[in-house]
């Protein structure tokens, strides 16, 4: 196991703070494979190695606001390693600093700052720190609680893999495996019927799932938010495959992808949510345009929430166990308000507040983008790589 890098310790990690005896743990935001494995690692490390008491907070920040907590024992954390979802429940609508409380007479959303209720829950449960497992929205919410004096250790969880500071997040690898398996299955029907098969995957404003699953499945076209695509470029590429190569094509499109000079396709606006924009529908648009421009029979498959379901693959279980273990270890070594991350395959930590309110998108100079282009994959447009986006050599 790679030693934990404490090189990022700042003045906020001073051991002058009161000792840690009792911690809380919650899972917030969208569910994903590996959450239970992370909870298991946090609970068992806290109890077996450090003799701590652990309290579970139900349904993410909603439970923290409403004071819904319960003690967690090692037995509670047993038998959950391979289970999908989260035993504590989750919520992707709650936002302690800006909680939706209804609509005003004009139909506009009303919000309240309920962070004081979160502080009251922590004080009532006698918690010395919180371990918060979530993505970028969750860490943004956690950073607002840090402003109220809570000590929070964050663990990156999101299939979108877009949390700033960490090269990987819990759930991403399983989501990619699920998407890859689905795209593999589309190959046979595409080849049999000489069709273009379009598969829409998740990822919001980041193309990590589309890129990784696209490469893993040998997809011909990968469309992602970081590279606004051109309809003519896609049509010409597919026409060339029809004339000189296989008479079919596989197109993977991230839900946040958009044409050049066009907008993202929004499926829904939910004013009651902390993140009201719900992307979706670009797959159908891409399929329609390809069919119209090439004359080829084109079909679309939208994977949707199947990417967030099921149990974690082995790699995600190991990753979750490492993140949970290092989170408690960092806390007991004096860390305060830090986000546990993995960088170049080493576990370390960054400032939680600094990582909040941002998204980690795919750099155009990413080695996987370069590898995909080298094997003939189209991104629907020419790629100009900014000088600062090109990785230093060697990559590793």
3-state secondary structure of 46: helix
Count of C-beta atoms within a 10 Å radius of residue 6: 14
Q: Which one, of 35, 219, 210, 267, lies nearest residue 131 by Cα?
A: 35
Active site residue 160: yes
Query: Rounded to whole angstroms, how far apart are CA atoms 271 and 93?
Result: 10
| Distance separating the N- and C-terminal Cα atoms of the chain | 18
Structure tokens at 138: 């969750």
Q: Which one, of 324, 356, 317, 353, lies nearest residue 340 by Cα?
A: 324
The answer to whether 88 and 69 are in contact (CB under 8 A) is no
3-state secondary structure of 145: helix
Query: Rounded to whole angstroms, how far apart are CA atoms 303 and 233?
Result: 25
Query: Rounded to whole angstroms, how far apart are CA atoms 360 and 168?
Result: 10
- Phi first, then psi, for residue 72 (nearest 5°) are -120, 130
Q: Which of 59, 136, 160, 366 is catalytic?
A: 160
Q: Is the dihedral of CA 77, 80, 84, 87 positive or negative?
A: negative
Lay out the sheet containing 221-223: strands in order across.
221-223, 249-254, 196-201, 298-302
Encode 281-328 in three state secondary structure. Answer: CHHHHHHHHHHHHHCCCEEEEECHHHHHCCCCCHHHHHHHHHHHHHHH
User: Which residues are within 8 A (CB) of 384 and not within 5 positions of it... i.e. 6 or more apart?
Assistant: 364
Active-site residues, by number, are 160
């Amino acid at each position: 196991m790679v030693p934990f890098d404490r090189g990022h310790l700042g003045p906020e990690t001073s051991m002058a703070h009161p000792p840690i005896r009792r911690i809380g743990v919650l899972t917030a935001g969208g569910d994903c494979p590996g959450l239970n494995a992370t909870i298991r690692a946090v609970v068992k490390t806290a109890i077996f190695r450090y003799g701590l008491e652990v309290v579970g907070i139900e349904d993410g920040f909603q439970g923290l606001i409403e004071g819904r907590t319960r003690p967690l024992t090692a037995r509670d954390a047993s038998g959950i390693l391979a289970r999908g979802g989260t035993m504590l429940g989750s919520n992707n609508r709650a936002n302690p600093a800006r909680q939706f409380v209804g609509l005003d007479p004009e139909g506009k959303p009303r919000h309240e700052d309920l962070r004081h209720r979160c502080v009251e829950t922590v004080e009532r449960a006698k918690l010395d720190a919180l371990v918060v497992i979530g993505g970028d929205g969750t860490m943004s919410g956690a950073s607002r609680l840090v402003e109220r004096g809570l000590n929070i250790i964050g663990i990156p969880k999101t299939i979108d893999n877009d949390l700033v500071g960490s090269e990987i997040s819990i759930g991403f690898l399983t989501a990619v495996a699920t998407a890859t398996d689905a795209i593999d299955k589309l190959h046979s029907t595409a080849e049999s019927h000489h069709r273009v098969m379009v598969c829409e995957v998740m990822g919001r404003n980041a193309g990590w799932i589309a890129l990784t699953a696209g490469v893993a499945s040998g997809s011909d076209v990968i469309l992602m938010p970081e590279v606004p695509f051109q309809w003519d470029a896609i049509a010409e590429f597919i026409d060339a495959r029809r004339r000189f190569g296989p008479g079919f094509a596989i197109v993977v499109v991230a839900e946040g992808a958009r044409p050049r000079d066009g907008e993202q396709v929004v499926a829904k606006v939910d004013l009651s949510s902390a993140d009201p924009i719900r992307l979706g529908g670009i797959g159908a648009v891409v399929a329609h345009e390809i069919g119209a421009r090439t004359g080829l029979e084109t079909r679309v498959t939208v994977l949707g929430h199947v990417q967030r379901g099921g149990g974690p693959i082995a790699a995600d279980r190991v990753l979750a166990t490492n993140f949970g273990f290092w989170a408690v270890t960092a806390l007991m070594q004096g860390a305060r308000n830090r986000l546990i991350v993995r960088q170049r395959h080493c576990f370390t930590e960054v400032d939680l507040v600094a990582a909040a309110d941002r998204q980690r998108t795919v750099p155009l100079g990413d080695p996987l983008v370069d590898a995909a282009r080298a094997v003939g994959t189209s991104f629907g447009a020419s790629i100009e790589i900014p000088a600062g986006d090109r990785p230093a050599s060697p990559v590793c």
